Amino acid sequence: MVKFGAPPTCLIRGGNVRTLSGEALPCGIVDEARPYIRRIRLKQRDRLVFCTDGVYDLLGKDMEAELKKGSGQPLDRMAAALMAAAKGRGQRDDMTIMVVEVA
């Protein structure tokens, strides 16, 4: 996992949600910015949830709880439910969610 100043990524494995984060400046801010690199071993049926700061800033710590609610749903429904939860709190920034499952 390589992160450049992005919101945390969530790993869903067996219904459990784990937040994966790392401290790094956003890419392009300064020449010295370096990514946070972390190795994780993914398993079949693991799900990764990526979102923009517009989503994460609204959900924050509640994101894990929202993901647990829909952890068994199809990927598109999981993303839609998470987006609805975020939009229910307003919208001040762009909002994008991507949910992928390891085959």
In angstroms, what is the C-alpha Rg of the chain? 14
* pLDDT of residue 30 exceeding 80: no
How far apart are the C-alpha atoms of 56 and 86, rounded to whole Å? 8
Specify the pLDDT at position 26.
72
pLDDT band at 74 (very low <50, low <70, confident <90, very high): very high
- For Cα atoms 49, 52, 25, give the angle at the middle one, nearest 5 degrees: 105
pTM for the whole thing? 0.86
Q: What is the pLDDT of residue 6?
A: 79
The per-residue pLDDT for range 39-66, each reduced to its tens digit, is 999 999 999 999 999 999 999 889 999 9
Beta bridge partners of 3: 36
Query: Does position 25 have pLDDT exceeding 90, yes or no?
Result: no
Domains of the chain (ranges; CATH) run 2-101 (3.60.40.10)
